[in-house]
A and B are shown apart, each in its own frame.
Chain A
């Protein structure tokens, strides 16, 4: 028993990810944890989206199913699982069946390299960010196949539009990502890195989050990526291909029940995945706010109390709404349920005040808090902006974001270079060009 505890301890405080250590069992445990966390996050996103959107539209949202609609996602899941599974008559059954799985595969495999902490990733590949961009571009294949296999024109047009949009905004995303990667090349060894953990460590060493680096350049890159990532995941205001009033739900029109829930799961996971990219590249990943400006033990202590305080605040809100519940005998179960939920949140908050848990949970909490901020932004965009028409969408992608991204790339490269000595770079470059010309002619 003592050996088991020691074994677990050795991996909780190890200095490498399970992938780097080559340890199958711990990699599997991490994969399960990430999968569970993702499922909980998608369920919470479902509830949050409906409630927040409703409150933005001055209405209440789901209130009946559980206290304040908290059990609504579970009711939705049960409904989707029990629905009849319909396949259109002339549809190609193999492809119809495979398409949702490809989209889910692409959306979930991305989380293999997402860093929740300096050693809290499933693995840390040398090409982390490249892997994430590449695998998330595999979801275009699933979309195209879903539209084509439905053998009906609305899904086909929706799929073509959706995939054209995703491919166009991937280019802008790639350019913004490259300019952020270039900023890592001023780290300790003098070489940049593509690995996700390496990027956050570069921000830590250089003492500045990349969104604030070289003042307007980091912010512009972040803004380009933030716009492109919303378009990449087919969310408002870029959701023409799947909005119900436009194309009757686009490429997933003919899907119902469990298969539709796979598309839905993949969409929210993709949102969380691209938000993780944005958080890692520009917002400092798992670093707490002001990691270098406000150092010292007291500030560390103050910031380490924030996770517990957040959960206690949520518990306080639960208790407040419990008190305001209607005092009718039919509401008794809901009131007790809400109070119980509040007690659970308060317990989690209290557990997070223990010193042993406090240090371990820091990185994961700050990372999740930043990603949660992005999720709120997604819901905010949906409630605020009108939809882009398809040609306006493509115009923004190709004529606005792409030239801005290219110009940003060139300017960032130039600014990055000016910190080196003129004689070390510019003159040898001219000598190299002269040499090249001499070799040709």
Chain B
């Protein structure tokens, strides 16, 4: 069993990076700066997954999200980035309504988390730490077990979804001849 090391320090560091990155994503004028901030957020989130004893999800996050989706975003930004967007205003016409809706959501969330039913914390975390040496194998058991694991059907549907996405992206983005 590996004892967790300096957990609050790393949690607050990574959480701080994520919040700062998130604010940078929604407030920068330059789309490439936003994309960079999002990459930082995603990598910090992978660190948080490692703290939650989920190494496989952290690995998938780094490979797919930070190394795949963000590269796609950067390519598209480079393809269609026009100088004029950086000099205009960056908030759209309905920003007041948007902020009001988000504020309502924020109040709702704060309300849920502060007025709890009994006592102080909403969820009491079990203090046991599980060995992560079997994490990938356990996920594989859930997905691929011998008589049809719990998520086998979802896995096949996900592969079909990816096929549809590939065909859709190719059709949408190719040049009209």
Contact = CB atoms under 8 A, between A and B. Distances in A.
Interface of A: 20, 22, 24, 92, 94-95, 98, 125-127, 130-131, 133-135, 137-138, 140-141, 144-145, 148, 156, 160, 163, 167, 191-195, 425, 428, 431-432, 435-436, 439
Q: Which secondary structure characterizes the binding site on chain B? A: helix
Contact of B74 (A126, A138, A141): A141
A165 B137 CA distance: 32
Q: Which secondary structure characterizes the binding site on chain A? A: helix
23 contacts: A22-B2, A94-B33, A95-B33, A95-B36, A126-B132, A126-B136, A127-B58, A130-B56, A130-B60, A131-B59, A133-B63, A137-B62, A137-B68, A140-B67, A141-B66, A144-B71, A145-B32, A148-B32, A193-B136, A428-B146, A428-B147, A435-B148, A436-B152
Nearest to A94: B33
B153 interface: yes
Residue with the greatest number of chain A CB neighbours at <10 A, chosen from B3, B56, B62: B62
B75 A126 contact: no
Nearest to B78: A148
A141 B71 contact: yes
A134 B78 contact: no
Residue with the greatest number of chain B CB neighbours at <10 A, chosen from A92, A144, A428, A435: A144
Contacts of B74: 141, 144-145, 148
For the complex of A and B, list the 9 residue pairs with the smallest distance between their C-beta atoms, beginning with the closest: A137-B67, A134-B63, A134-B62, A130-B59, A432-B148, A127-B59, A127-B55, A126-B55, A144-B74
A126 B153 contact: no
Given A145-B74, A167-B71, A98 B36 contact: yes
B147 A126 contact: no
B148 to A, nearest CB: 4
Contacts of B146: 425, 428, 432
Interface in B5-42: 5, 30, 32-33, 36, 39
Nearest to B33: A94
Nearest to A194: B136
Nearest to A164: B75
